[in-house]
């Protein structure tokens, strides 16, 4: 015969699960696009934790879509192959040799690492790029930058088909040109375009900061699109946060219900954002 006393940790765990019920019901059947990058991809432990969170989301009825970056891995491979990069106004020129390396690293090394991590946790993940099934058709973003693409046409049916079979799509940010080119796409931009095409319930942009901060340096947990514009104009939002908030505004304008900018380094950040009252980052809604 075994005996045990109820301890406070067990009771707290049960209370957490109980309080999550309204949010589990709220997101049943919802599409959530997650941009994965930064420290969330930096270690095997972080990847395993993220993969477990994604599998749990799928288990409770959410349709997650993972869009990933891979800048550090691309830089490492270019250095290893002794391919020199040219920069214009601080941005890398993606020539033909570079885009071949980008595709190799993103669609191969990085994409399959994420797919394997999810599958090891009991999910069913499939790796794609924007070139598959013409998911993302691109125009050239800037001729001076070479093969850098701006999404111009989206064909998300392949993703809907995967949802119907409980498959988790993991997407490398590459697109097809109208003349057969391969284009590299900014990861946030690709995630925003996919979320917009799916009219996703949430777009989660995982970053290396805790969210959008006000002039006092405090994270603002909920904002409207108009407030984002004001904070950008007065310089409160600056630097690397600007392209993320621009992606958020574009997604909201295209029908995404809300965008969250959150710290991907925090354990279980995605679950905290979706399934708790307090969330985990800065929630941005339409005006």
Contact indicator for 12, 82 with CB cutoff of 8 Å: no
Binding residues for substrate: 70-71, 92, 184
Give the mean pLDDT of 156-184: 96
Residue 1 lies in a domain: no
pLDDT (0 to 100) of residue 250: 96
pLDDT above 80 (res 12): no
pLDDT above 80 (res 195): yes
Instruction: Pick the closest to residue 157 from 195, 101, 207, 197 (CA basis).
Output: 197
Structure tokens at 39: 């420290």
Mean of the per-residue pLDDT values of the chain: 91
pLDDT above 70 (res 160): yes
Contact indicator for 113, 70 with CB cutoff of 8 Å: no
- How many CA within 13 A on the CB side of residue 184? 26
Residue 244 lies in a domain: yes
pLDDT (0 to 100) of residue 188: 94
d(CA 283, CA 276): 13
Whether the model pTM is above 0.85: yes
d(CA 77, CA 166): 34
Look-up: residue for tokens 């040219």? 86
pLDDT above 90 (res 18): no
pLDDT (0 to 100) of residue 117: 96
Which of 35-39, 91-95, 221-225 is predicted least confidently?
Answer: 35-39
The more confident residue out of 23 and 114 is: 114
d(CA 266, CA 280): 9
* Count of CB atoms situated within 10 Å of the CB of 163: 17
* Count of CB atoms situated within 10 Å of the CB of 151: 24
- Strand order through the sheet with 136-140: 149-154, 136-140, 174-177, 182-184
174 in helix, strand or coil?
A: strand
Domain harbouring 263, CATH code: 3.40.1160.10
Question: What domain count does the chain have?
Answer: 1
Residue 75 lies in a domain: yes
Residue 13 lies in a domain: no
Q: What angle do CA 122, 65, 49 make, to 5 degrees?
A: 45
Which of 108-122, 127-141, 261-275 is predicted least confidently?
Answer: 261-275
Which of 8-22, 62-76, 256-270 is predicted least confidently?
Answer: 8-22
Confidence of residue 40 (pLDDT cuts 50, 70, 90): low
Residue 249 lies in a domain: yes
pLDDT (0 to 100) of residue 181: 95
pLDDT (0 to 100) of residue 19: 79
pLDDT (0 to 100) of residue 239: 87
d(CA 255, CA 257): 6
How many percent of the chain have pLDDT more than 70? 95
Confidence of residue 92 (pLDDT cuts 50, 70, 90): confident
pLDDT (0 to 100) of residue 209: 85
Structural domain boundaries enclosing 84: 28-285
Give the mean pLDDT of 252-271: 92
d(CA 265, CA 206): 8
The more confident residue out of 108 and 86 is: 108
Residue 165 lies in a domain: yes
Residue 137 lies in a domain: yes
Residues 6+ apart with CB under 8 A from 9: none
Structure tokens at 93: 């020129």
Q: What is the DSSP letter of 213?
A: B
pLDDT (0 to 100) of residue 25: 87
pLDDT (0 to 100) of residue 6: 56
Structure tokens at 207: 């970053």
Residue 206 lies in a domain: yes
The more confident residue out of 219 and 40 is: 219
């Amino acid at each position: 015969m075994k005996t045990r006393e109820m301890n406070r940790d067990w009771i707290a765990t049960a209370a957490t699960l109980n309080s999550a019920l309204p949010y589990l019901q709220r997101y049943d059947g919802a599409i959530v696009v997650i941009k994965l990058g930064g420290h969330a991809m930096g270690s095997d432990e972080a990847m395993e934790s993220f993969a477990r969170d994604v599998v749990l989301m799928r288990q409770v009825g959410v349709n997650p879509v993972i869009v990933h970056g891979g800048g550090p891995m691309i830089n490492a491979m270019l250095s290893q192959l002794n391919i020199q990069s040219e920069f214009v106004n601080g941005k890398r020129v993606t020539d033909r040799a570079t885009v071949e390396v980008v595709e190799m690293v993103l669609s191969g090394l990085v994409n399959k690492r994420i797919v394997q991590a999810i599958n090891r946790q009991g999910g069913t993940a499939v790796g794609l790029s924007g070139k598959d099934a013409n998911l993302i058709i691109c125009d050239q973003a800037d001729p001076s930058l070479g093969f850098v693409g701006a999404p111009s046409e989206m064909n998300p049916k392949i993703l809907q088909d995967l949802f119907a079979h409980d498959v988790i799509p993991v997407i490398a940010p590459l697109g097809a040109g109208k003349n057969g080119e391969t284009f590299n796409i900014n990861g946030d931009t690709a995630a925003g375009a996919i979320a917009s095409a799916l009219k996703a319930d949430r777009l989660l942009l995982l970053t290396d900061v805790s969210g959008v901060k006000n002039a006092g340096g405090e994270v603002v947990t909920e904002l409207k699109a108009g407030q984002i514009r004001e904070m950008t104009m007065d310089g409160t939002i600056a630097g690397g946060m600007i392209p993320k908030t621009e992606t958020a505004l574009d997604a909201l304008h295209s029908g995404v219900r809300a965008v969250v900018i959150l710290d991907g380094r925090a354990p279980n950040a995605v679950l905290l954002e979706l399934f708790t009252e307090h969330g985990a980052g800065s929630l941005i809604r339409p005006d």
